[in-house]
Amino acid sequence: MLPKDKLEALCQRYDELETLLCEPSVLQDRNRYVAVSKERGELSPVVNAYRNYVDTQRRISEDKEAIHDPELREMVLEELPELESKLEQFEKQISTLLLPSDPNDARNTLLEIRGGTGGEEAALFVTDLLRMYTRLAERRRWKVEVLSSSRADAGGLKEIILLVSGERVYSELRFEGGVHRVQRVPLTEAQGRVHTSTSTVAVLPEADEVDVQLNESDLQITIAASGGPGGQGVNTTNSAVQILHKPSGIIVKCQDERSQIKNKARALKVLRARLLEQEQRAQKEQEAQERRGMVGTGERAEKIRTYNFPQNRVTDHRIGLTLYKLDAVMNGDLDEILTALRNDYQASLLQQQ
């Protein structure tokens, strides 16, 4: 059953916001106008769905009264099943929209991609995943900034850390964390045998300074010459910054910028994100002990997806989804996978209610 009192209250608040947006005092105050518009936008989906639900209920009631009219009976009998199906769809939609939102959903996101097992092939797969997520960001009109990277000797990347900024980035990428497995024939394989390699992806919500307080006494900051292939200016100055957070043992190193100040700022950004994720993961693990089946505990050890190049196949093992369009997926077309993961997550939350 839908919580109709709550929904009616949301509709009333929505109408109040509509009225406020027309008032001169709000129109002249940019900050207030933005705040009111944002709240109205957040309420709009559930209010529209509920009003459609109520309207459909009214039409069903009218049809049931008209079913006794011989002239209308045939039309009503034809229309009723469609209306009842719509009513069920609206009810499911409203239940989903009323689910509590994750406070991280609107945050920008740090995306860390690292080579796992497989040596050179794993490093090449890191590059492929980087391209996949970059293309996805282009499709979503997100901004991507490289915070740190480390190249492999034979090509590819040992690891790369990205800051992805845009609308509801974390809510879209949150399920990408885990072990990604690739199956394909490496360029160095003379006999055409398929090799299996892995790379790991970590998805961390960006932390603000107010989220994670860092004490200078807890930090051990080391400055060194930047390393890496090329040698054209990158390693001529002491610009690489490594930060050890002594209480947690977390170490972060950034060297991509020639400016020591910029590298330090980036390293602190990564450190805050990791500390926030560590704190939130500990909280979720505690909640999981109290409530069985809690989703999103941040476990990364499990293989979440396989990319099979010879068969042009991608399989997400968590939801049993297999698609034969790996070429499109590697080009950033993750819509079907991300939607299926989000729907599965929402279904699990609905079961817990």
CA-closest candidate to residue 101, choices 170, 1, 5: 170
Q: Check: pTM over 0.75? Answer yes or no.
A: no
- Asked whether residue 61 is domain-assigned, the answer is yes
- pLDDT, mean of residues 253-259: 79
**Last-in-domain residue among 42, 68, 97:** 97
What are the tokens at 76? 């009503």
Least confident of 12-21, 126-135, 214-223: 214-223
User: Which segment of 63-67, 141-145, 262-266 scores lowest on mean pLDDT?
Assistant: 262-266
DSSP letters along 202-267, please?
EEEEPPPTTTS---GGGEEEEEE----SS-SSTTSSS-EEEEEETTTTEEEEE-SSS-HHHHHHHH
Is residue 289 predicted with pLDDT exceeding 60?
A: no
Mean pLDDT across the chain, nearest whole number? 85
Start-to-end Cα distance in the chain: 12
The Cα 331–Cα 131 span in angstroms is: 7
In a domain, 27, yes or no: yes
Same domain, 33 and 83: yes
Whether 212 and 245 map to the same domain: the answer is yes
Looking at the chain, the whole-number percentage of residues with pLDDT higher than 70 is 88
To the nearest 10 degrees (0 to 180), the angle between helices 4-20 and 30-66 is: 130
Question: What single DSSP character describes residue 324?
Answer: S
Q: Does one domain contain both 186 and 321?
A: yes
State the DSSP code for 156.
S
Q: For residue 85, list its beta bridge partners.
A: none
Look up the domain containing 343 and give its range: 105-206+304-353
284: helix, coil or strand? Answer: helix
Higher confidence at residue 193 or residue 286?
193
**Of 255, 287, 319, which residue sits at a domain end?**
287
Q: Are 233 and 258 in contact (CB under 8 A)?
A: yes
Among 98-102, 207-211, 318-322, which range has the highest average pLDDT?
318-322
How confident is the model at residue 119, as a pLDDT? 85
Place of tokens 């999981």: 288
The answer to whether position 299 is within a domain reads no
**Taking residues 73-80, what's their average pLDDT?**
90
- Distance of CA 264 to CAs 217, 261, 287, Å? 16, 5, 35
Residue 211 pLDDT: 62
Q: How many CA atoms lie within 13 A of 219 on its CB side?
A: 18
**What is the predicted pLDDT for the residue at 223?**
83
Residue 143, in any domain of the structure: yes
Q: Are residues 28 and 169 in the same domain?
A: no
Residue where one domain finishes, among candidates 287, 315, 334: 287
CATH number of the domain within which 320 lies = 3.30.70.1660
Q: Are residues 201 and 215 in the same domain?
A: no
Which CATH number is 45's domain given?
A: 1.20.58
Q: Do 201 and 213 belong to one domain?
A: no
Task: State the CATH number of the domain containing residue 250.
Answer: 3.30.160.20
99 neighbors 349 (Cβ within 8 angstroms):
yes
The three-class DSSP label of residue 148 is strand
Q: What are phi and psi of 75, to 5 degrees?
A: -65, -40
Q: Is 178 helix (H, G, I), strand (E, B) or coil?
A: strand
Bridging pattern class, strands 195-205 and 109-115: antiparallel
Mean of pLDDT values over 290-296: 32
Judge if 320 and 198 occupy the same domain. Answer: yes
Task: Say what the pLDDT of residue 301 is.
Answer: 47
User: 171-221, pLDDT tens digit by residue?
Assistant: 899 999 999 999 998 876 767 788 999 999 989 888 765 567 788 888 888
Cβ atoms within 10 A of the Cβ of 27, count?
A: 13
Residue 57 has pLDDT above 80, yes or no: yes
- Indicate whether 292 belongs to any domain: no
For residue 11, what pLDDT is reported?
95
pLDDT band at 169 (very low <50, low <70, confident <90, very high): very high
Q: How far apart are CA 283 and CA 353, in angstroms?
A: 20
What is the per-residue pLDDT for 216? 83
> 294 lies in a domain?
no
Least Cα distance to 194 among 273, 284, 353, 311 occurs for 311
* Strand 178-184 relative to strand 303-308, pairing: parallel
More confident residue, 290 or 241: 241
Please tell me the total count of domains within the chain. 3
pLDDT band at 290 (very low <50, low <70, confident <90, very high): very low
Residue 298 domain-assigned?
no
- 90 domain residue, yes or no: yes
CA-atom Rg of the chain in angstroms:
26
| Of 66-80, 96-110, 177-191, 257-271, highest mean pLDDT | 66-80
User: 90 near 49, Cβ under 8 Å?
Assistant: yes
Q: Which helix (H) or strand (E) holds 136?
A: helix 120-140
The confidence score (pLDDT) of residue 283 equals 65
CB atoms within 10 A of CB 209: 10
Distance, CA of 305 to CA of 287 (rounded, Å)? 26
Question: Do 32 and 144 have their domain in common?
Answer: no
d(CA 158, CA 121) in angstroms, rounded, equals: 10
317 and 195 belong to one structural domain:
yes
H, E, C per residue of 255-319 = CCCCCHHHHHHHHHHHHHHHHHHHHHHHHHHHHHHHCCCCCCCCCCCCEEEEEECCCCEEEECCC
Q: Rounded to the nearest 5°, which phi and psi values hold at 349? A: -65, -40
Question: Are 321 and 190 in the same domain?
Answer: yes
Q: Are residues 63 and 120 in the same domain?
A: no
pLDDT computed for residue 304 by the predictor: 93
* 198 and 315 both lie in a single domain: yes
